[in-house]
């Protein structure tokens, strides 16, 4: 397999995204119940202003989602999910930054790609909706395949579970005709894992390079930070920065964040450190 550094690009319509430096994905939730910023950007103008702000502060991709995936969230019917997305998606696309659609539903991914999204961020790694892989393949979009579980289990080997999950996701992608250069993997920090398992995965992150796919890590404001620092959601920026900086140092090609500017600065520092001896 080729390494993520050798691959150096995530392909999608419009030319793709070079991965020669750590990239920052800004989170735009148009949901009333997301764990961190639910309800803040439901209004169309507020959502668009947030997207413009993230772009100005250094976001490389805008990830738009209309269904909360937080633990205990109520599932949203596709019709309601698209009702939330439609007023903002095409206008965010028109801003000229690559747009990702955060959904596990094939119908939403299809409509979003038709509206201009070029990345599908699937928190179930193509394993929830049997039509998702075909939709991604036909659209030409890139796909981010995240590891997930319906519930955490302290008794399992989480690294082995991730291995088996990723092998299945990559097999599904290959069978659908999604080439390796359009695939990214996400270990799913905060999804179906205990606190110890989350930190174990982060500590062993470099082991996931064996798949020859670039990695994305998203731990922004999550409970594993609050559990260590004893702070509420809005006070988890520093913890988020710490985790994402470590992840980039361990090889993450992209980080998914709420606070774009400080993370874009951190990514630039990681990039500068990585230049040592390469001049």
3-state DSSP assignment of residue 203: helix
Contacts of 118 (CB under 8 A, 6+ apart): 12, 13, 14, 98, 99, 100, 140, 141, 142
Q: List, as one string, the DSSP characters of 81-141.
A: HHHHHHHHHHHHHTTTS-EEEE-S-HHHHHHHHHTT--EEEETTTT-SSTTHHHHHHHHT-
Q: What is the CA radius of gyration of the chain?
A: 17
- Phi and psi at residue 222, in whole multiples of 5°? -80, 165
Residue that the structure tokens 């793709």 belong to = 16
Contacts of 148 (CB under 8 A, 6+ apart): 123, 124, 125, 165, 188, 191, 192
Q: Which one of the listed residues 84, 182, 221, 256 is annotated catalytic?
A: 256
Looking at the DSSP assignment, which residues form a beta bridge with residue 143?
A: 120, 183
The C-alpha atoms of residue 248 and residue 102 are separated, in whole angstroms, by: 22
149 catalytically annotated: no
222 catalytically annotated: yes
3-state DSSP assignment of residue 7: helix
Contact 5, 231 (CB under 8 A): no
Q: Which one of the listed residues 222, 223, 236, 250 is annotated catalytic?
A: 222
Catalytically active residues are 222, 256
């Amino acid at each position: 397999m080729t390494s993520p550094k050798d691959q150096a690009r995530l392909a999608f319509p419009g030319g793709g995204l070079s991965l020669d430096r750590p990239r920052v994905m800004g989170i735009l939730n148009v949901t009333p119940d997301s764990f961190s910023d639910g309800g803040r950007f439901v209004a169309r103008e507020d959502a668009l202003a947030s997207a413009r702000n993230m772009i100005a502060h250094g976001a490389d991709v805008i990830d738009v989602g209309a269904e909360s995936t937080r633990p205990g969230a109520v599932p949203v019917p596709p019709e309601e999910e698209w009702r939330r997305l439609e007023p903002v998606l095409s206008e965010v696309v028109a801003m000229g930054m690559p747009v990702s659609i955060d959904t596990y539903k094939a119908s939403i991914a299809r409509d979003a790609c038709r509206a201009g999204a070029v990345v599908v961020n699937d928190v179930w790694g193509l394993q929830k909706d049997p039509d998702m892989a075909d939709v991604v393949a036909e659209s030409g979009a890139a796909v981010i395949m995240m590891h997930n579980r319906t519930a955490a289990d302290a008794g399992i080997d989480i690294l082995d579970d991730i291995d088996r999950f990723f092998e299945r996701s990559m097999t599904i992608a290959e069978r659908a005709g999604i080439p390796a250069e359009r695939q990214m993997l996400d270990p799913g920090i905060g999804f179906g894992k205990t606190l110890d398992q989350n930190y174990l995965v982060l500590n062993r992150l470099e082991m996931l390079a064996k798949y020859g796919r670039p990695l994305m890590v998203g731990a922004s404001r999550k409970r594993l930070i609050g559990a260590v620092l004893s702070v509420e959601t809005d006070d988890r920026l520093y913890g988020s920065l710490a985790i994402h900086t470590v992840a980039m140092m361990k090889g993450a090609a992209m980080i998914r964040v709420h606070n774009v500017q400080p993370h874009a600065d951190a990514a630039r520092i990681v990039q500068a450190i990585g230049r040592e001896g390469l001049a």
